[in-house]
Amino acid sequence: MKQKYSHNTSNTKIALGSRNFIENRAITLAHYIIDSKDTVRGAAKKFGISKSTVHKDVSERLMKINPSLAKEVRVVLEENKAERHIRGGMATKLKYSHLKKWEVEKTSHFSHLYKIRHRI
3-33 in b/e form (b: 16+ CB < 10 A) is eeeeeeeeeeeeeeeeeeebbebbbbbbebb
Residue by residue, pLDDT tens for the chain (120 residues) are 455 565 554 444 444 457 899 999 999 999 999 999 999 999 999 999 999 999 999 999 999 999 999 999 999 999 999 988 888 888 888 887 776 554 545 555 555 555 444 444
